[in-house]
Structure 1
Amino acid sequence: MAESQGPAQRLFTAAKRLLGSLLATGETRLRLAVLELEEERARLITLLLLAGVSLILLLLGIGALTALVVVAFWDSHRLTAITVSALVLLGSGIGLAVWVMRLARRRTLLASTLKHLATDRDLMERSRHD
């Protein structure tokens, strides 16, 4: 004859189910975090390669343009041409450095994981109050 479950057994079963649900949710969030890290790594490698190639091409173009300006004004205003070219290059470099610093401060790493964890926490708090 099968006995019905007592209160202690039901509590134990409910706790086991809750722990299983928490572990499953944790595993899902961990998998999401790993996926986001892999995507971020691939994006970062692509960005670094493209940035490197574009920097090389940009440096070659700037060098050629600076040489053209200096040669064009060699007879009349060579020092002015060199000074203006240097100031334009320095100003552009400082402006780009400021822009890059602003971009670097943005948080994108694990943004989706953090959002889902906050949602999970809110749902847990709501269920506790009900």
Structure 2
Amino acid sequence: MTTERQFQHDSQGPLRRIVSSVFSIFETRLELIGIELSEEKERLIGVLFLGLAAMMLTMMALITLTVLIAIAFWGTYRWQSLAAITAVYVLVAIVCALRARAGLSNAPNVFESTLAEFKKDRDTFN
């Protein structure tokens, strides 16, 4: 009877250690996910702020440029100059939209490090 109990106790010891190790690895990976999410959030907020500031300043510059060109050509080619400026703005807007779309479709994987660690863990247990 004591041998059977001792055998059950010994077999539960390594099993508990394995389960504990698996949970410890899982906890570490979750912490890594949290760190990566935090870093990505900070990066996105910084990029968003700078992008909005650049967009606002660019709009102010374009409005000023448009008024300057309209005043310069007011007597001779007023509607032609405004049409040309509008065409340039539309073309630049299209190029920006296409580049933004390409940037979103080619974005790197956010959890690249975490996935690499999970693959290492899977390879270790196989």
Q: TM-score if structure 2 supplies the norm length? A: 0.85
Q: Distance in 1 between matches of 2:84 and 2:15?
A: 74
Deviation at 1:6, TM superposition (A): 5.6
Aligned to 1:53: 53
Deviation at 1:104, TM superposition (A): 2.0
Q: TM-score if structure 1 supplies the norm length? A: 0.83
Q: Which amino acid aligns with 1:71?
A: I
Aligned to 2:101: 101
Deviation at 1:95, TM superposition (A): 0.9
Deviation at 1:100, TM superposition (A): 1.2
Q: Tell me the percent identity.
A: 27
Q: Name structure 1 gaps, 5 residues minimum.
A: 126-130
Q: Distance in 1 between matches of 2:91 and 2:10?
A: 72
Q: Distance in 1 between matches of 2:121 and 2:71?
A: 66
Q: Distance in 2 between matches of 1:38 and 1:58?
A: 30
Aligned to 2:116: 115
Deviation at 1:89, TM superposition (A): 0.5
Aligned to 2:15: 15
Deviation at 1:113, TM superposition (A): 1.1
Deviation at 1:21, TM superposition (A): 1.0
Deviation at 1:117, TM superposition (A): 1.2
Deviation at 1:59, TM superposition (A): 0.2
Deviation at 1:122, TM superposition (A): 2.3
Is 1:77 the counterpart of 2:73? The answer is no
- Please list, as runs of the form range in 1=range in 2, the aligned pairs for 1:27-66 lying within 5 A after superposition: 27-66=27-66
RMSD (Å), alpha carbons: 1.9
